[in-house]
């Protein structure tokens, strides 16, 4: 697999630049789904517009943030990665806490990752408190020739379970921004109806 | 078909582990194991962390109401348990009775309201009829029209007036997080300091308590949070207030952090003087102030929160405890204490996450079946309940596991037992602030030892809407059961039925449980030995040693000692760079 980042290696934006941006809301997003379906790469593509092929999960990196504009409001998305704990289905409950949006991902070229969705979905509903927005992500559309899960089937699954649905490619960046933006819109809408969704607590630091 | 089977076998192999060598294997995700796992991974060790349960934290976890009820129910059937275990379990669930009472009461009210409305409607009709009688016959039609309109409106209104169905306690309980052994954190205590210094605090949310109380002479005394509030207080006499302030000032002078070498020496000299004057005993120091009985218990039980073996607390320990209390005031709120928003069970999980971020491998629902040693009794590796053997230099677990897995070596421990009560009521105690910590000195409610009471509502425990959660904890000596140790204090504060609640204005217990919690810890002496004894790589750590339910200093110390043994000269939980501070793709 050749390296094919969305942008070159030079003149990349830094996380420091984004730190100074002021924002109205901070949304905690979590990524779930089986191992090796590109969750970390989706995160990196969205946050940093890059793609690392054959990446072992990245040591020391656990979430990325990016500010986006939703209905003229500045929203900071903080996207949490599983830190490899999904490998033996051993994600901490604490990971789910306070998340307003969960992205449940599968690999369109691996049927087994689609079969796991039901149990990921039930974990999300069980461990995330309140009205969490759930997005279904079928990743790796760049490998469409090896597809094992049809768009139609996934769409039906999403409709049945009341999920947003996107097919993406973390490699080319296809639909990645859209998935985050559309879900953020929905979260914001829910938040405006029920401001309690995103409670504030003492953080010690 | 064959192909499928082959794939399945292959898959099974793959689902177990693809690495068969680790620096350290830990079994159990309780406090000490989890902190240690985080520290070891952070220092670059390869870590495999297992737990036989399907959830993190074992007895250090936080439970939903139904999980808690199941756990308590299951504990009743255990014969000859080995620590940690729960015993003498009594569960009283009156929630259905109260909910039925409330429903009937609501029905009665609704009926009254309906009757009232009906009465009003009839009156109005009567008035109208009188009016109509006064008016001419040809206007009657219009009157009827109005009347039918009124009826329509009423019909439309009825469904809107219908009240939303109230969730039952058990429906809400699905989202509670209740600790078996809740612990308060000092705002300036070692756990909060470590959470901050290691940046593990980003995984947690905290709430600050509102107020601490001392219960004595049937009165709740505010334990003041500031100088100002002591003097505003109306329960203590002026002389008593001066004594309290004098004591706090003395402690402050002894412990005030200072950069100045001369001041430091001065402090040490003073402490040394006091030490020799009072035989290094905290109780003697307190007695020397000539306090009234009330002020004395205020200082010994309210300001210092080490209560076990009061006579033998060293002056240094006692002074440090008061200093910690005083310095933790007004840091995040008026009370010196913080509680984790989703229960203490999230703290070990935070360190597990930290471990995972640094490459640690986590497998729940998997236990260790056996350990293997070479001819010199040096650990070679472990074997799990399934899958291939795994090589490791160190194996760390709590006494119960180690004793059964490594029968060649002895690991002496001491057993500790607490009496616990957990109650959910319909409201908080009168004249208290919502999130409160109440200390009952010995002999207040025929109690032998100090009882700590924690009162929390939905501000601290999510989804506890309209309910209040209580934790009672006391050290249990001899064979006494939790009910024997705690019942008189529980009955002092709560009512068991609606009648009693109405006549006494006490909170009504809707769900409650008494139980004893027994666990094994290592004594300080053994802790030293454990670290110095190079017995071939098997290390023991204490079970949830909840101490006096305040802070986690002893757990941290133990984790640190084990860490220093495995990683000498390495930093214990060095701060993790903030994700926002990591600059991608740019050279320095």
Out of B346, B356, B579, name the one closest to residue A83 (CB): B356
* Residue B581 confidence (pLDDT) above 80: no
- Would strands B468-475 and B47-51 be described as parallel, antiparallel, or unpaired? unpaired
Of B394 and B411, the one with more pLDDT = B394
Residues B325 and B403 in one domain: no
Question: Are B236 and B300 found together in one domain?
Answer: yes
pLDDT above 70 for B252? yes
Evaluate if residue B270 carries a pLDDT over 60.
yes
Does residue B284 belong to any structural domain of this protein? yes
pLDDT in tens, A56-77: 555 556 788 899 999 999 999 9
From B583's Cα to the closest Cα of chain A, the distance in A is 5
* B interface test, pick of A48, A92, A125 with most B CB neighbours within 10 Å: A92
A201, part of any domain: no
CB contacts, 8 Å: B576 with chain A:
60
Q: Which chain A residues contact residue B337 at CB under 8 A? A: none
Look at residue B250 and tell me whether its pLDDT is greater than 80: yes
Q: Has residue B220 been placed in a domain?
A: yes
Question: Where residue A3 falls among pLDDT bands split at 50, 70, 90?
Answer: very low
Say what the pLDDT of residue B232 is. 76
pLDDT at A119: 95
* Contact list, A87 vs chain B (CB under 8 Å): 361-362
* Contact across the interface for A60 and B366, Cβ inside 8 Å: no
* B462/A contact by beta carbon, under 8 A: yes
Query: Which chain A residues touch B366 with a CB distance below 8 Å?
Result: 88
pLDDT value at position B171?
87
Instruction: Determine, for residues A202 and B359 on separate chains, whether the beta-carbon distance falls below 8 Å.
Output: no
Judged against a pLDDT cut of 60, whether residue B154 lies above it is answered with no
Average pLDDT in the B150-174 region? Answer: 65
Contact B413, B188 (CB under 8 A): no
Provide the pLDDT confidence category of residue B161 given band limits of 50, 70 and 90. Answer: low
Which one of A98-102, A134-138, B252-256, B457-461 scores highest in mean pLDDT?
A134-138
Residue at B569 is within a domain: yes
Domain containing B361 equals 16-63+342-409+525-575
Taking the Cβ of residue B349 and every Cβ of chain A, the question of whether any pair is shorter than 8 Å is answered with: yes
Peptide bond into B84 cis (omega under 30): yes
Residue ending a domain, among B520, B540, B567, is B520
B333 and B457 assigned to the same domain: yes
Res A148 pLDDT > 90: yes
Q: Is the pLDDT of residue A183 over 90?
A: yes
Same domain, B258 and B282: yes
- The verdict on residue B85 lying in a domain is no
Q: How many domains does chain A have?
A: 1
CATH assignment of the domain containing B401: 3.50.50.60
Q: Is residue B221 domain-resident?
A: yes
Q: What percent of chain B has pLDDT over 70?
A: 86
Residues B497 and B362 in one domain: no
What pLDDT is attached to residue B527?
Answer: 61
Sequence-separated (6 or more) residues with CB below 8 Å from residue B498: B98, B101, B508
B432 and B300 in a common domain: yes
Does some domain include residue A125?
yes
Q: How far apart are CA A82 and CA A87, in angstroms?
A: 9
Same domain, B465 and B502: yes
The arithmetic mean of pLDDT across residues B280-293, rounded, is: 91
Residue B549 DSSP symbol: S
Which is more confidently placed, B346 or B165?
B346
pLDDT in tens, B404-448: 898 877 777 888 899 999 999 999 999 999 999 999 999 999 999
> A167 is in which domain, residue-wise?
22-195
- B580–A94 C-beta distance less than 8 A: no
| Whether residue B493 sits in one domain with residue B386 | no
For the cut 90, the answer to whether the pLDDT of residue A169 exceeds it is yes
Tell me how many domains chain B contains: 2
* Cβ-defined contact of B203 to A94 (cutoff 8 Å): yes
Looking at residue B263, which CATH number applies to its domain?
3.30.519.10
Residue pair B395/B368 in contact by the 8 Å Cβ criterion = yes
Are B458 and B565 in a shared domain?
no
* CB of B333 less than 8 A from some CB of A: yes
Instruction: Return d(Cα B130, Cα B139) in angstroms, integer.
Output: 13
Domain final position from B520, B535, B565 = B520
User: Do B372 and B426 lie in a common domain?
Assistant: no
Question: How do residues A4-29 score in pLDDT, each as one tens digit?
Answer: 323 333 333 333 333 445 788 899 99
- Within a domain: B226: yes
Whether the Cβ atoms of residue B342 and residue B462 lie closer than 8 Å to each other: yes
The mean pLDDT value for B40-48 works out to 96
| Inside any domain, residue B263 | yes
The verdict on residue A202 lying in a domain is no
How many residues does this entry show for chain A? Answer: 205
Pick the most confident of A10-14, B220-224, B290-294, B391-395: B391-395
Residue B145 clears pLDDT 70, i.e. is over it:
no
Confidence of residue B351 (pLDDT cuts 50, 70, 90): very high
CA gap A86, A123 in Å, rounded: 12
- Confidence (pLDDT) at B504: 92
Both B261 and B311 in one domain: the answer is yes
* Disruptive mutation site among B7, B46, B585, B587 for chain A (greatest number of A CBs within 10 Å): B585
Per CB-CB distance under 8 Å, the chain B contacts of A3 are none
Asked if the structure places residue A80 within a domain, the reply is: yes
Would residue A44 count as lying in a domain? yes
Q: What are phi and psi of B186, to 5 degrees?
A: -65, 135
Please check whether residue A4 lies inside any domain of the structure: no
Look over chain B and give the mean of its residue pLDDT values, rounded to a whole number: 85
State the Cα torsion B240-B241-B246-B252 to the nearest 10°: 130
Q: Do B186 and B310 sit in the same domain of this protein?
A: yes
Q: What is the CATH number of the domain that holds A178?
A: 3.40.50.300
| Structural domain includes residue B303 | yes
A71, part of any domain: yes
Reported confidence tier of residue A201, pLDDT bands at 50, 70, 90: very low
């Amino acid at each position: 697999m050749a390296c094919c980042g969305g942008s070159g290696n030079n003149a990349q934006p830094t996380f420091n630049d984004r730190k100074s941006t002021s924002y109205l809301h901070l949304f905690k997003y979590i990524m779930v789904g089986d191992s090796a379906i590109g969750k970390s790469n989706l995160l990196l593509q969205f946050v940093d517009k890059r793609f690392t092929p054959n990446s072992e999960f990245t040591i020391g990196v656990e979430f990325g943030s990016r500010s986006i504009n939703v209905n003229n409001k500045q929203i900071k998305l903080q996207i949490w990665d599983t830190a490899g704990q999904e490998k033996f289905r051993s994600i901490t409950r604490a990971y789910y806490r306070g998340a307003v949006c969960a992205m449940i991902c599968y690999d369109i070229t691996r049927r087994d990752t689609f079969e796991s969705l039901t149990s990921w979905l039930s974990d999300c509903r069980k461990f995330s408190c309140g009205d969490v927005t759930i997005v279904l992500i079928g990743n790796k559309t760049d490998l469409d020739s090896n597809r094992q899960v049809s768009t139609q089937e996934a769409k039906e699954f999403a409709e049945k379970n009341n999920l947003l649905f996107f097919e993406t490619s973390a490699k080319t960046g296809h639909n990645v921004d859209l998935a985050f933006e559309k879900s953020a819109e929905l979260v914001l809408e829910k938040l405006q109806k029920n401001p309690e969704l995103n409670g504030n607590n003492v953080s010690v630091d | 078909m064959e192909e499928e089977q082959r794939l399945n076998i292959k898959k099974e192999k793959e689902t177990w582990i693809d690495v068969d060598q680790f620096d350290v294997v830990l079994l159990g995700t309780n406090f000490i194991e989890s902190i240690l796992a985080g520290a070891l991974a952070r220092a670059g060790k390869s870590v495999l962390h297992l737990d036989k349960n399907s959830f993190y934290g074992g007895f250090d976890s936080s439970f939903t109401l139904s999980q808690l009820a199941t756990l308590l129910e299951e504990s009743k059937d255990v014969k000859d348990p080995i620590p940690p275990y729960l015993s003498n379990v009594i569960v009283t669930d009156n929630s259905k009775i109260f909910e039925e009472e409330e429903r009937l009461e609501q029905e009665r009210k609704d009926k009254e309201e309906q009757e009232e409305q009906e009465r009003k409607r009839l009156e109005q009709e009567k008035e109208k009829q009188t009016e109509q009688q006064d008016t001419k016959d040809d206007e009657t039609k219009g009157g009827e029209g109005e009347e039918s309109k009124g009826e329509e409106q009423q019909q439309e209104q009825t469904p809107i007036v219908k009240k939303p169905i109230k969730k039952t306690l058990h429906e809400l309980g699905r989202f509670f997080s209740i600790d078996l052994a809740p612990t308060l954190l000092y705002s300036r205590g070692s756990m909060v300091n470590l959470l901050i210094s290691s940046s593990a605090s980003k995984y947690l949310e905290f709430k600050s308590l509102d107020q601490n109380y001392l219960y004595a002479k049937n009165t709740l005394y505010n334990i003041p949070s500031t100088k100002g509030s002591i003097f505003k207080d109306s329960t203590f006499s002026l002389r008593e207030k001066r004594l309290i302030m004098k004591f706090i000032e003395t402690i402050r002078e002894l412990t005030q952090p200072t950069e100045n070498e001369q001041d430091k020496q001065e402090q040490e000299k003073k402490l040394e003087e006091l030490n020799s004057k009072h035989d290094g005993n905290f109780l003697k120091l307190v007695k020397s102030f000539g306090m009234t009985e009330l002020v004395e218990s205020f200082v010994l039980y309210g300001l210092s929160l080490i209560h076990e073996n009061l006579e033998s607390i060293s002056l240094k320990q006692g002074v440090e405890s008061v200093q910690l209390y005083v310095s933790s005031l007004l840091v995040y709120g008026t009370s010196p204490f913080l509680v984790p928003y989703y229960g203490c069970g999230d703290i070990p999980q935070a360190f597990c996450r930290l471990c995972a971020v640094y490459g640690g491998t986590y497998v729940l629902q998997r236990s260790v079946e056996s350990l293997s040693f070479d001819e010199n009794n040096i650990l070679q590796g472990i074997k799990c309940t399934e899958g291939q053997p795994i090589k490791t230099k160190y194996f760390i677990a709590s006494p119960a596991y180690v004793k059964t897995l490594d029968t060649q070596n002895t690991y002496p421990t001491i057993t500790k037992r607490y009496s616990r009560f957990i109650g959910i009521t319909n409201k908080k105690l009168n004249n208290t602030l919502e999130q409160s910590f109440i200390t009952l000195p010995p002999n207040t409610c025929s109690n032998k030892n100090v009882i700590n009471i924690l009162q929390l509502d939905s501000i601290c425990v999510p989804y506890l809407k309209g309910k209040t959660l209580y934790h009672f904890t006391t050290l249990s000596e001899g064979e006494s059961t939790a009910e024997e140790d705690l019942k008189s204090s529980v009955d002092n504060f709560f009512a068991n039925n609606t009648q009693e609640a109405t006549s006494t204005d006490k909170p009504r217990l809707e769900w409650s449980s008494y139980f004893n919690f027994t666990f094994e810890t290592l004594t300080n002496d053994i802790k030293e030995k454990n670290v110095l004894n190079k017995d071939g790589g098997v290390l023991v750590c204490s079970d949830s040693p909840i101490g006096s339910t305040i802070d986690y200093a002893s757990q941290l110390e133990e984790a640190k000692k084990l860490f220093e043994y495995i990683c000498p000269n390495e930093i214990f939980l060095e701060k993790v760079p903030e994700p926002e501070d990591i600059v991608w793709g740019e050279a320095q």
